[in-house]
Amino acid sequence: MPTDEATLSPLRTATLVAPIIDRLRFAVSNRIRATTASLAGEAGLTELGTRVLTTLRNTLPDREVTLDHIRAVFRYQPEDRLQASVAEALGAGVIEATATGYRLAAGGQKLATMLLEATDAAAQELWPTRPDRIAALSATASRVMDAAEATAGPGYRMVAPPYLPGSVSPAYVLVERVTALRWYRFDAHVAAWEAAGFTPETIRAITDGPEREAVEAETNRRAAPPYAALSPDERLDLIAGLGALTG
C-alpha cells in the first residue's frame, strides 16, 4: 500500500530522519578521528584550527566563504574563540584571506584532500555492499538538497555544495550529501532558539521540559520544507535506507 501524506509528511520526515543522519555522520567521523588528529597535529593545529579545516573541507578546490559563514558554524562559541580559530588556521597556512572572505590555502587544500580520501575509505569500509542502493539513496538526498537551496542558512552554505570529484565512491557522495542536510537542520535549530529568545548559553542549559520541546518542534518545522520535494513513498525509502546503514 502506498504511503500517504498524512502518514509521512515532510514534518514527520524531518523529525524521524534527523537522528539517523546524525548516527551515519558520527560513524564516519569516529572512524577517521585518529587520522584527522594526526593530520592536524602535523600541521600545527589545535582543536580550534582543526575545526576550521574540517568545516571548510568541501570548499575544495578554491570556493570562498565569508567570516559570517564560518561564524555560523561556530554559533555556540564565543566570538573570541572564533577569531582565535581563524587566526590559527591563517597562521598555519591552512586558509588564506581574500577580498571577500577566506578560502583554503595550498596547505589546506592538501590536508582537505587527505581528509576526503580518509573519509572515502571509511565510508567504503562501513558500507561495502550494495553500491547501487547507496547511489539511489544519494540521488534522493541530492533532490532534497536541491529543494533546500531556496531556504538554506549560512551553516549549510559552508558545506554545500559538497566537493565530489569523480574518483570518490557512492558511499562518500551519500555521506557528504546527508551531512549537508544535517547542517540545514543545524541552521533551522539556531533559528528556532533565536526566535524563542535564547542565546547559545541559555539554550544549552535547557535539556528537557516544555521550552526545549517547543524549540525542537520549531526546529522540525523549519527543517521540513526540503522533504516536500519527495513523495511519501520516497521519504519512507530514504528513512528506511539510511536507517539500514546505521543499524
Q: Residue 219 pLDDT > 70, yes or no?
A: yes
In a domain, 5, yes or no: no
In a domain, 3, yes or no: no
3-class secondary-structure state, position 188: helix
Tally of domains in the chain? 1
pLDDT class of 70 with cuts at 50, 70, 90: very high
Q: What is the pLDDT of residues 3-57, one digit of tens each?
A: 777 789 999 999 999 999 999 999 999 999 999 999 999 899 998 899 999 989 9
Q: What is the pLDDT of residues 190-203, one digit of tens each?
A: 999 999 999 999 99
In a domain, 218, yes or no: yes
Question: CA dist 183 to 46, 67, 92, 187, Å?
Answer: 23, 17, 26, 6
Q: How much is the mean pLDDT over the chain?
A: 94
In a domain, 165, yes or no: yes
In a domain, 97, yes or no: yes
Quote the pLDDT of residue 181.
Answer: 97
In a domain, 4, yes or no: no
Q: What is the pLDDT of residues 108-164, one digit of tens each?
A: 999 999 999 999 999 999 998 888 999 999 999 999 999 999 999 999 998 899 999
Q: Domain containing 36: what range?
A: 10-246
In a domain, 1, yes or no: no
In a domain, 2, yes or no: no
